[in-house]
Structure 1
Amino acid sequence: MPPRFLLALMPLLFTTVAHAVDCDNATNQGDMNQCAAQQFKAADKELNALYQQINQRLKDSPDTKKLLVSAQRSWVAFRDAECNFSASGVDGGSVYPLIYSNCTTGLTKARVEAFKTYLKCEEGDLSCPVPGA
């Protein structure tokens, strides 16, 4: 996360204490930014839970587990770089956190779906790197 993103989020740290936001009816930029950050946090939490499940299934396959770790690190780097690029048109603006969070949320949800697919592999599916439960 770039420092400018952290600076853009600083006001949110103080506004979150002041009031709860109704994300379905958010009308100001600060509330919309906060809601977008919450959506990303929820998607990231789901992603991490699925990652742990896959990691657990690979406990007897250390080489495959290392490949998962490497792939995930590369994916996180890609996600962050892609979203920095995607939001670069509003860099420094009050809408930057919203655009950046929407991007990270979208890419994270796509990764969640990929992980869910890995966790549904049929026994004997040679195209799947994750053994069945």
Structure 2
Amino acid sequence: MHPRFLLALTPLLFTTVAHAVDCANANDQGTMNQCAAEQYKAADKELNTLYQQITKRLKDNPDAKKLLVSAQRNWVAFRDAECEFSTSTVSGGSVYPLIYSLCTTNLTKARVETFNRYLTCEEGDMSCPVPGA
């Protein structure tokens, strides 16, 4: 990389780091939207971590793994469609990103709870699709 390019990026790097968002005291719509989006990203990251754990446990059962992949794709489609529907009254408004992110966060957290249950099933639980560790 050329040194002048790095010097040109330096102000951007410091600006980004210096502008930390205080979500606990968010008092404008833009900040609230950003904080809600960050909450969703955190929930989605947790969901993806659990999904990877489940797929590892299903490595010896390709049929179950295929069903999980299908279920998760369908769940994502449901989540997105449900949130589009439930936020349709504010579509196009400045509050839309906040309300949409809250919806996706809540549904994602519910899915996280489901995945956690799958990962902590009791030995011999025939209703559990994920084998124990």
TM-score (norm 2): 0.86
Measure the CA separation in 1 of the matches of 2:70 and 2:59.
15
Residue identity opposite 1:72 in structure 2: Q
Residue identity opposite 1:103 in structure 2: C
Residue identity opposite 2:52 in structure 1: Q
Render the CA deviation track for 1:15-66: whole Å, top value 9, x for unaligned: x948221000000000000000000000000000000000000000000000
* Aligned sequence identity (%): 80
Render the CA deviation track for 1:73-114: whole Å, top value 9, x for unaligned: 000000000000111101111110000000000000000000
Residue identity opposite 1:29 in structure 2: Q
Measure the CA separation in 2 of the matches of 1:85 and 1:26.
26
Give the structure 2 partner of residue 74 of structure 1.
74
Deviation of the 1:124 alpha carbon = 1.2
Give the structure 1 partner of residue 109 of structure 2.
109
Measure the CA separation in 1 of the matches of 2:122 and 2:113.
16
Residue identity opposite 1:45 in structure 2: K
Measure the CA separation in 1 of the matches of 2:36 and 2:85.
18
Measure the CA separation in 1 of the matches of 2:36 and 2:91.
17
Give the structure 1 partner of residue 26 of structure 2.
26
Give the structure 1 partner of residue 49 of structure 2.
49
Residue identity opposite 2:67 in structure 1: L
Measure the CA separation in 2 of the matches of 1:128 and 1:69.
16
Give the structure 2 partner of residue 129 of structure 1.
129
Give the structure 2 partner of residue 38 of structure 1.
38
Larger radius of gyration, structure 1 or 2?
A: 2
- Consecutive unaligned residues of structure 1, counting only runs of 5 or more, are 1-15
Runs of 4 or more consecutive aligned structure 1 residues displaced over 4 Å after TM superposition: none
Measure the CA separation in 1 of the matches of 2:19 and 2:92.
25
Measure the CA separation in 1 of the matches of 2:37 and 2:124.
40
